[in-house]
Structure 1
């Protein structure tokens, strides 16, 4: 179970002045340290304006985040607390923005879902959590709305996070912004 505690986080070793890049070490179950990086970048979806995507994980050989590798943290709550604390720092500096996180697979999406569910009481005074599903609009003539290339036009459907929603029905994207 992931328990968030902003009083128990890892110290950063490198922080960009605009808070979009942060590096820190996390301890693994085998006792070794692993370097992790957090990146916050503008989301390029025009239907989700002012959303910044949060990515984090160890670096690959090219220095890019590898969010597909399985990492056995000795304290996953401390790692997630560190990631969320820096996301909150970014939001405080950019308070009209929203942070989004996308699980690269169902296991990661499950972790995010459960993290928000489990920590609802701890986080509710700080952030508002949003779940996003995508939909394609059915037109009155019984065809679907299509994009310029003739493909179905998927639109995001943000909604307040449903804490009762089953983990068998994961959101496609998880977002949060400050609870002003």
Structure 2
């Protein structure tokens, strides 16, 4: 089981140009260091107002994050703890936002789902985990809502993360919202 621990994270560097870009180096099982980028980008979809996509990985030659590469990290928990700690730091500065986590593969989506389930009590100190599914509205006349071209009109449905859902019933997206009650208490006591 992967354990998330904000007391065990890699040292990070923030871009002086863009605060939504955070770099750190992680050790691989081959005893190499790989530079990783944590990237937070606004979601360009009106149905996801106030949402930002959280991604991380090594940089491609194009400067984009490679979210498909497979790397054997020496300390996977430390890598993911670093990403989630920086996500929490971002949300503390921007409590009105959601951070969307979209696994780039089915396997990664299962991993993120399991991390939320297995680290529930710890992560709920910092975040309010949310699952996002799509629905199509059924009208009172028993027809379904459609767009201007007549296609069904799916809309995102944000809901409290259901810890009983299994890895065989994944959400379309996962989101993190700041747990403001706990965050305010930690700030007042100067913890973390």
Q: What is the CA deviation profile of residues 91-138 of structure 1, one whole-angstrom value per residue up to 9, with x for unaligned ones?
A: 111111111111111111101101111111111121110000112223
Correspondence for 2:92 = 92
Q: Given the two structures, how large is their TM-score scaled by the length of structure 2?
A: 0.87
Q: Give secondary structure in 1 for the equivalent of 2:111.
A: helix
How far apart, in 2, do the equivalents of 1:16 and 1:5 lie?
Answer: 27
State the shift of 1:144 in Å.
3.0
Q: What is the CA deviation profile of residues 143-172 of structure 1, one whole-angstrom value per residue up to 9, with x for unaligned ones?
A: 432223333211001110011111100111
* Aligned residue pairs, count: 180
Q: Give secondary structure in 1 for the equivalent of 2:67.
A: coil
Judge conservation of contact 1:19–1:86 (CA < 8 Å) in 2.
Answer: no
Q: Given the two structures, how large is their TM-score scaled by the length of structure 1?
A: 0.93
How far apart, in 2, do the equivalents of 1:110 and 1:129 lie?
Answer: 15
How far apart, in 1, do the equivalents of 2:42 and 2:103 lie?
Answer: 17
**Structure 1 gap segments, 5+ residues each:** none
How far apart, in 2, do the equivalents of 1:68 and 1:127 lie?
Answer: 26
Correspondence for 2:109 = 109
- Backbone CA RMSD of aligned residues: 1.6
How far apart, in 1, do the equivalents of 2:48 and 2:72 lie?
Answer: 33
Q: Give secondary structure in 2 for the equivalent of 1:155.
A: strand
Q: What are the residue-to-residue correspondences of 1:144-155 with 2, within 5 Å?
A: 144-155=144-155
How far apart, in 2, do the equivalents of 1:44 and 1:37 lie?
Answer: 21
Correspondence for 1:131 = 131
How far apart, in 2, do the equivalents of 1:54 and 1:134 lie?
Answer: 20
